[in-house]
Amino acid sequence: MLLKNKKVAIIGGGPAGLTLARLLQLHAVDVQVFERDLNQDARVQGSPLDLHEDSGLKALQHAGLIEQFKQHFMPKADRKKIMNAQAEVFLSDHDDLLERKFGDPDFRPEIDRGALRKILLDSLLPDTVQWNHQFISMQKQANGWRLHFKNNTTFYADLVIAADGANSKVRPYLTDIRAFYSGITMLEGYISNIKQTAPQIDQLLNGGKIMAFGHQKNLLMGQKADDEIGFYASFKAEESWSTAHQAIFLDRIKTKQWFKCFYSEWDAIWDNLFEHASLPLIPRPIYCMPLDQTWRTQANLTLIGDAAHLMPPFAGEGVNVAMLDALNLSEYLSSDHFSTLQQAIGSYEQEMRPRAAKMAEYSLANGERMHAINALQNMLNFFQSH
Q: Is 78 annotated as a binding residue?
A: no
Quote the CA–CA distance of 212 and 359 in Å, as a whole number.
23
Q: What pLDDT shows up at residue 247?
A: 97
For 130-169, the DSSP string reads: E-S--EEEEEEETTEEEEEETTS-EEEESEEEE---TT-S
Per-residue pLDDT at 99:
62
Q: Which H or E run contains 83?
A: strand 80-84
**Is 178 within any annotated ligand binding site?**
no
Q: Are 252 and 246 in contact (CB under 8 A)?
A: no
Walk me through the domains of the chain, giving residue ranges and CATH numbers.
7-45+125-178+290-366 (3.50.50.60), 180-288 (3.30.9.30)
Residue 345 backbone phi and psi in degrees, to 5: -65, -40
Cα Dmax for the chain: 64
pLDDT tens for the 386 residues of the chain, in order: 899 999 999 999 999 999 999 999 999 999 999 999 998 887 655 678 999 999 999 999 999 999 999 999 998 888 999 999 999 999 998 877 456 677 777 788 999 998 999 999 999 999 999 999 999 999 999 999 999 999 999 999 999 999 999 999 999 999 999 999 999 999 999 999 999 999 999 999 999 999 999 999 999 999 988 899 999 999 999 999 999 999 999 999 999 999 999 999 999 999 999 999 999 999 999 999 999 999 999 999 999 999 999 999 999 899 999 999 999 999 999 999 999 999 999 999 999 999 999 999 999 999 999 999 999 999 999 888 86
Q: Is 369 annotated as a binding residue?
A: no
Would you say 325 is a known binding-site residue?
A: no
DSSP 33: E
Q: Is the pTM of this model over 0.85?
A: yes
> Cβ distance 32 to 8 under 8 Å?
yes
15-25 vs 318-333: helix crossing angle, rounded to 10 = 20
At 44 the pLDDT is: 56
Q: Show the CA angle centred on residue 294, arms to residues 146 and 340, nearest 5°.
A: 55
